[in-house]
Homo-oligomer: A and B are copies of this chain.
Amino acid sequence: MTLLFEENTRAELRAFAPQALVVLPVGATEQHGPHLPVGTDRFTAEYVARAAAELASDQIPVLVAPTLPFGSSQHHLPFGGTLSLGTETYYRVLCDLCESLITSGFRRIFILNGHGGNNELIQLAVRDMAFKHDAQLAAAAYWTIAWDALVAEGAHKHAGLPGHAGAFESSLVLALRPDLVREPRPHRDNPPDTDTRNFNAPYRAEQHGAWQRMNGYTDSPDQADAERGQRYLEAIVQAVAAALIEFYG
């Protein structure tokens, strides 16, 4: 067996399926401000999924499926450079993939997400598939899994956590693919204070055109730093590996 699902044969996968955990990384191809590549969410999701699975593989049988490189990103289409699946299409894609895995004998699936816009749909998919099939499924973005560790690293200071194309994500790309970050990165004077978790907002509010008004990125990307990005990645990989092991049970 190799860690990557696609490198194995059908017989290896059939034999491994009953006891294995499959990690399905889901990213996006979407605008990430003037400075980051549109593949940002795919690079991070794929990197984290593989590194965390590698780490976890000492303790649990685990495979990483091919990354779904397209996400639910309709709201980024007006900026160009965005490849998005519609809400209903994306839900069906996730269900088809989970049902394929279950038909292939797998009983444990973890959808690891790198794009905020996918968060609700991955949760619906794992809820509905676990109701319909005799299997257990989990779903989360890497930053919710690693929240406490990231806060301990100060990733939330004067930055969105995760934000979008802000200091946090920019730090990750500076660590992962520094060649792809365009300089100078934009600056904003007053990055929003996100010392508390932004998904604890008391309600979800959506304004037409809001993304355009903030030019497609949050907080101040020029505050990003490759070295901090490296520490964040390490914290994320540790936390995700621990979550995979915990979920495996």
Interface residues of chain A, those whose CB is within 8 Å of chain B, are: 4-14, 17, 29, 31-39, 42-43, 65-70, 74-75, 77, 79-89, 91-93, 96-97, 100-101, 103-105, 110, 117, 120-124, 126-131, 133-140, 144-148, 177, 180, 182, 197, 199-200, 202-210, 216, 239, 243, 247
Contact = CB atoms under 8 A, between A and B. Distances in A.
Contact of A86 (B82, B92, B122): B92
A139 B81 contact: no
A96 B86 contact: yes
Contacts of A4: 39
A9 B29 contact: no
20 contacts: A5-B38, A6-B42, A8-B37, A8-B81, A10-B32, A10-B34, A13-B38, A68-B69, A77-B100, A81-B104, A88-B92, A126-B204, A131-B206, A133-B208, A134-B208, A138-B205, A145-B202, A148-B202, A199-B199, A199-B200
